[in-house]
Structure 1
Amino acid sequence: MTATNVSPSSGKETDVIIVGAGPAGLSLARALAPSGLSITVVEKQDSATLAEPPFDGREIALTHYSKELMQQLDMWDKVPANEIYPLRDAKVINGYSNYQLHFEQPTMARGKPANTLGFLISNHHIRRAAYEAVTPYKNINLIGGHSIIDVRNEDSNHIEATLDNGQTISARLLIAADSRFSNTRRQIGISAQIHDFGRTVIVFRMRHTLSNQHTALECFHYGRTLALLPLEENMTNCVVTINNERAGEILNMSPAQLAADITKQLKGKLGDMHLVSTVHHYPLVGVHANAFYAHRSALIGDVAVGMHPVTAHGFNLGLSGVGILSKLIIEAVQKGKDIGGQTLLAQYQRQHMPHTRMLYHGTNAMVSLFTNDSHPARLMRSLVLRISNNLPPVKKLISKQLTG
């Protein structure tokens, strides 16, 4: 990969422009690299930050299918082995009840023996691995420290992007991978359904004296939600979602107060706890684009679908989209067909969107129910957990989604 510093007057041509060098954008660049296409990645962060991303508090749950894709893209082995945490099983708790919906440790996943539902890797490790995976490729050019401010159709065979320094880049295909709040998505004329939950996500790591047994725990308490993502046996990532007007109650706590609060929420399940990381917070907004493509352009990652973090599985959808789109583009290259043609991009949408729609709307409906604290909703929440726990086909379907 080459890094470029460009003058405002310069212009260039490339085969593919990827807007955004996050995990999804870089994964797609790596997937396309062996095709020989010239790929230009534009990212507002500089190369130094991409090479050494800071810890941001987010832990990503990865399915077995995502592991396979990351292995194919030379990303999996670039994550330190001791920073890949097994997710053995998962439990869901409603309100103050001790009743649990339990997704047991599997014996098979994707037709192979397995002893975990999936894996947990910190977001900054995935970002670093994706960056390192693209660096060997000379046909990938990174323009760091710049943003794309305008996109327009140059002609029927090309699309043109203008950077914030005045440079223009012409390509046969543009991929938006910048974020769920993507400016590029708007520039290419794709609308999106945006669901502002009115909540804030607060994430941090806690050490504790009792084992988490590598079990994820989703606690739908009244007034807030607490998710526990097991890392080391005695270290857990805590994810609190709370109404925006109450977020300050958590963010203003001292480390000792925060540890005491989480211990109380868990009724001491993990023993004594203490904070071992910085605390980070993010607005809770879900996004699903109404189309995944436009003229010579397509969406991947959070630009296409930004999930509620309740399952911590958003990046799995991003990788799935990378797998589908890269396969279609590589096949087009091999057959001498148009990599940015409407037929190819429409096929990408047909293959990817049904799955994303189901998960996005299903997750939002579940979250809406389990964060509704009215008396009828509390009864329904309890009923849903018990039905799900006692209907094997339902549990098997959900478990299949969790493992990929």
Structure 2
Amino acid sequence: MKADIVIVGAGPVGLCLSRALSGSGLKTVLVEQQRLADISEPPFDGREIALTQKSVRLMRTFGLWDLIDPHARAPLCSAKVFNGPSTGALEIGHELSGHAELGWLVSNHLIRKAAYEALRESTARHGDVTLLAAQKVSSVKAGDELASVTLESGETLSARLIVAADSRFSSTRKMMGIAACMHDFGKAMLVCRMTHEAPHAHTAWEWFAYGQTLALLPLNADRASHAHQSSVVLTLPVGEVNEIAALAPDAFAGQIEDRFMRRLGAMKLASTRHVYPLVSVYADRFVGKRFAAVGDAAVGMHPVTAHGFNFGLLGVETLGNRIIEAHRNGFDIGAASVLQRYEIQHRHATKPLFLATRFITEIYTNNTMPARLARDFMLRAASRLMPFRKAIAASLTG
């Protein structure tokens, strides 16, 4: 099969890139190892995505935003950062950003579903994207004029450009001989939804307690009970997380209540529980010969700064614009000059925050006494620096 572009990975980033390119006059083949049913009706996976204002604008452009139930789009109005048992916090309010909210929280599975539906609608109009589900890539090769992807079924796809959008552990990127800086934090995140007595005021919490990290992502009230509801993220060493995840629902709720020092009152489990390893990734190169990596295959962020999918959408915009611009001007979309422009622009946009995030996680998960004192001093100082708080608000809004 021949195409202009082959995208490996039909997660939210791969789907959004396919949608961004649809209607541009290019033929795209999207390859995904999951079954079509899992792509079109993805199950709840526990992850709530904090979307910046810029990401929401891009989702509107791609036709995703209006496909998501408004009740499932929760406004994020402010954010608080706590250190240890202190009730004092660094607070970033939406008024610092010039918007009515810093951003929005939407479940990952709903973003995936909306991206699939938006792509399906665009493909029905333009007939320019072919989705190959339940197919796994066995090899990737790049030549001077064309690149090719061979599937385990034996079929070969040829194209002018191959794009990897197949997770931070991208096998496609590895097949192209591109290494990545990978940091395993030795911990795991447990994520789930919980209802609670105290209101959250649409404020996100990042709580660097001693020996654990807690996050609270404010959601809209539970549809049935109208109870206050949030996504809870607990980060601990892998063994401890697995033990807590295996508790009976009531015992689990009691554990989470205690870990939040009952600041939210009584809590109750409201969803399934999911555990994810904590690994960050930054590819040594985002491009190769007739090849580009996007999304987590290029930059896999630690979730503490909530920019993973936002960087994914930014990469979709940057790479998509470079490809469409080259095509409209009659240039080779897989040429090194085209791809290097994406590389430079996306690296410039992502590297500073990636490094800052590593620094934050190293400092704020270090429980030695000097680190504790430094953390407290840094938060108190940051609370008094309006330019710094405005910079954080700008980052959160995108």
Query: TM-score, normalising length from structure 2?
Result: 0.96
Residues 1:222 and 2:219 aligned together: no
- AA paired with 1:349? E
5 Å-filtered alignment, 1:34-73, equals 34-73=23-62
Deviation at 1:107, TM superposition (A): 6.1
Report the counterpart of residue 385 of structure 1 in structure 2. Answer: 379
Report the counterpart of residue 133 of structure 1 in structure 2. Answer: 118
Partner Cα distance (2:271, 2:69) in 1? 19
Task: Calculate percent identity across the aligned residue pairs.
Answer: 46
Residues 1:202 and 2:187 aligned together: no
Partner Cα distance (1:125, 1:313) in 2? 18
Q: From 10, 13, 19, give the equivalent of 2:2.
A: 13
Please give the secondary structure, in 1, of the residue aligned with 2:95: coil
Partner Cα distance (1:106, 1:169) in 2? 50
5 Å-filtered alignment, 1:257-296, equals 257-296=251-290
Any idea what the Cα deviations from partners look like across 1:60-95, whole Å, max 9, x if unmatched?
Answer: 000000000000000111111110000010001001
Report the counterpart of residue 9 of structure 1 in structure 2. Answer: none
Deviation at 1:254, TM superposition (A): 1.5
Report the counterpart of residue 101 of structure 1 in structure 2. Answer: 90
Corresponding residue pairs, total: 388
- AA paired with 1:279? R
Stretches of structure 2 that go unaligned for 5 or more consecutive residues are 222-227
- AA paired with 1:65? K
Report the counterpart of residue 371 of structure 1 in structure 2. Answer: 365
Any idea what the Cα deviations from partners look like across 1:273-313, whole Å, max 9, x if unmatched?
Answer: 10010000011000000111000010100000011111222
Deviation at 1:266, TM superposition (A): 2.0
Partner Cα distance (1:197, 1:267) in 2? 25
Partner Cα distance (1:50, 1:57) in 2? 16
Partner Cα distance (2:134, 2:275) in 1? 24
Any idea what the Cα deviations from partners look like across 1:369-399, whole Å, max 9, x if unmatched?
Answer: 1100000000011011111111111111111
Q: From 209, 228, 239, give the equivalent of 2:233.
A: 239
Please give the secondary structure, in 2, of the residue aligned with 1:211: coil
- AA paired with 2:106? I
Partner Cα distance (1:61, 1:286) in 2? 18
Deviation at 1:359, TM superposition (A): 1.1
Partner Cα distance (1:265, 1:37) in 2? 52
Please give the secondary structure, in 1, of the residue aligned with 2:243: helix
Partner Cα distance (2:97, 2:371) in 1? 35
Q: From 310, 319, 326, give the equivalent of 2:313.
A: 319
Residues 1:306 and 2:300 aligned together: yes
Partner Cα distance (2:297, 2:242) in 1? 29
Any idea what the Cα deviations from partners look like across 1:231-253, whole Å, max 9, x if unmatched?
Answer: 02400000011012322331222
Across the aligned residues of Structure 1 and Structure 2, the Cα RMSD in angstroms comes to: 1.0
- Check the 8 A contact 1:260/1:273 in 2, yes or no: yes
Any idea what the Cα deviations from partners look like across 1:23-71, whole Å, max 9, x if unmatched?
Answer: 1001000000111100000000111111100000000000000000000
Partner Cα distance (2:305, 2:219) in 1? 16
- Check the 8 A contact 2:181/2:284 in 1, yes or no: yes
Report the counterpart of residue 225 of structure 2 in structure 1. Answer: none
5 Å-filtered alignment, 1:86-165, equals 86-106=75-95, 108-109=97-98, 114-136=99-121, 137=123, 138-153=127-142, 155-165=143-153
Please give the secondary structure, in 1, of the residue aligned with 2:275: strand
- Check the 8 A contact 2:97/2:394 in 1, yes or no: no
Deviation at 1:267, TM superposition (A): 2.3
- Deviation >4 Å, runs of 4+: none
Per the alignment, do residues 40 and 362 of structure 1 end up closer, same or farther by CA in structure 2, a change over 3 Å counting? same
- Check the 8 A contact 1:107/1:115 in 2, yes or no: no
Report the counterpart of residue 171 of structure 2 in structure 1. Answer: 183
Partner Cα distance (1:40, 1:157) in 2? 18
Partner Cα distance (1:224, 1:127) in 2? 30
Stretches of structure 1 that go unaligned for 5 or more consecutive residues are 1-11
Query: TM-score, normalising length from structure 1?
Result: 0.94
Please give the secondary structure, in 2, of the residue aligned with 1:106: helix
- AA paired with 2:101? T
Any idea what the Cα deviations from partners look like across 1:86-142, whole Å, max 9, x if unmatched?
Answer: 001000100111120100122654xxxx21110000000000000001113111000
- Check the 8 A contact 2:77/2:101 in 1, yes or no: yes
Per the alignment, do residues 107 and 246 of structure 1 end up closer, same or farther by CA in structure 2, a change over 3 Å counting? closer
Partner Cα distance (2:208, 2:31) in 1? 40
